[in-house]
Amino acid sequence: MGDVSKVLDPALEPIAAKVYAGERLSFDEGLALYRTRDLNTLMRLADHVRRQKHGDRTYFVHSLRFSQTNICYVGCPFCAFAKRFGEEGAWDWSVEESVAWVRERYEPGLTEIHIASGHHPKKPFGYYLELVAALKANFPGVQVKAWTAAEIHHFSKIAKADYRTVLSELVAAGLDAMPGGGAEIFAERVRRQIARNKVNAEGWLEVHRTAHALGLPTNATMLYGHIETLEERLDHMDRLRRLQDETGGFMSFIPLAFQPLGNSLAQNLGKTEFTTGLDDLKNLAIARVYLDNFPHIKGYWATLTVPLAQVSLDWGVSDIDGTLIAESIVNAAGATSGRAMTKEELARIVRRAGRLPVERDAVYNVVRVYDAVA
């Protein structure tokens, strides 16, 4: 039980009492967390919730990032990854070329191939089924976590089939889990400006609802630090919390800091600075306290930076993602954290933050519990 007497902001006293009692916060109480300057209390509350769920364990995954194409017609202004046909730097691989690319980067012990790519205007749905099946056949034992809800929505259009049919066929081909991208911010005001041509909020949520009904676990993200308000951030989390109450199929929530380089949204906003460490940590902590039904809050080191990801373990984070072999999407948008780390480097970072490193697979089965001391 935490000590409510240490709370400096009177507005947080009833909130702290509820958190220590294991009670859910209201929307207004979530906003009070965003508005408080009592950061020590916020950190303690988030750390309390994390510790209640996971003790000293911090998770990561040995993961290869793969994109079979970067060709995309959607044109999101925050993206620095997408290309058009014929544009310099564009790629568009066949199934055979994709398998060869993965084979070249495959490492023993790899447990996850994480696929995110563009909305390709010409590839038929059958291509994606063949790709999953080929990856599973060529790399047995490796799980395929692939395609955001936005991409599943795109597949449903090209296949002229509903979400259930599309997802059922992908699962039958070997799909093990889904990443959480494409969520951005659910508020319509923001979505009209930064994701006009992408699946809307209701569609994104319905894809995940359908996946969970089929037994396919998923993650959820939130892209913050651009034009959204604090109320819109919390609204985003609130919609996720309600769906998780309904389905229980989310594994983790991943706040993604907007990267202000190489994209038109940053240029139009005149934005050249990254989100502050304080904003990043507050966001993670509030997510940990507010999303009481999510198992994990992920501190994505590729956008946070490694030092801040390490600090975030005291702010509610129980997962720092993974080795990220060949990560390219956030690096294209200006992330400065590098493209990959080894499992040993991740374990060392976790240990030095006073936590116990746990290697997991794509669906949070434990692969290895590392020694507590290096």
d(CA 77, CA 145) in angstroms, rounded, equals 25
16 phi and psi angles, rounded to 5 deg: -60, -40
Whose tokens are 């994606």? That residue is: 128
CA 365 to chain centre: 18
Q: Residues 39-68: pLDDT tens digits?
A: 999 999 999 999 999 999 999 999 999 999
CB atoms near residue 233 (< 10 Å): 25
pLDDT of residue 101: 95
Whole-number Å distance between alpha carbons of 219 and 242? 15
Residues β-bridged to residue 58: 357
pTM: 0.93
User: CA-CA distances (angstroms) from residue 110 to 16, 43, 116, 146, 361?
Assistant: 41, 34, 18, 15, 9
3-class SS string, 297-350: EECCHHHHCHHHHHHHCCCCCCEEEECCECCCHHHHCCCCCCCCCCHHHHHHHH
CATH 3.20.20.70 fits 11-369, yes or no: yes
- The per-residue pLDDT for 169 is 98
Predicted pLDDT at 339: 66
In order along its 374 residues, the chain shows pLDDT tens digits of 677 778 889 999 999 999 999 999 999 999 999 999 999 999 999 999 999 999 999 999 999 999 999 998 887 777 778 888 888 989 999 999 999 999 999 988 999 999 988 888 899 999 999 999 999 999 999 999 999 999 999 999 999 999 999 999 999 999 999 999 999 999 999 999 888 888 999 999 999 999 999 999 999 999 999 989 999 999 999 999 999 999 999 999 999 988 877 777 877 777 777 889 999 999 999 999 999 999 999 998 888 889 999 999 999 999 999 998 876 655 555 555 556 889 999 999 999 999 999 999 999 999 999 987 65
Helices (H), the chain: 13-20, 27-35, 39-54, 95-105, 125-138, 149-159, 163-173, 188-194, 201-213, 230-247, 264-269, 277-290, 301-304, 306-312, 329-332, 343-352
Q: What is the rounded distance in angstroms from the CA atom of residue 188 to the CA atom of residue 193?
A: 9
Half-sphere exposure of 361 (CA within 13 A, CB side): 15
Sign of CA dihedral 330, 159, 166, 366: negative
Q: What is the pLDDT of residue 338?
A: 58
Is 79 known to sit in a ligand binding site?
A: yes
Radius of gyration of the chain (CA): 20
Asked whether the beta carbons of 322 and 346 are under 8 A apart, the reply is yes
* 78 labeled binding residue: yes
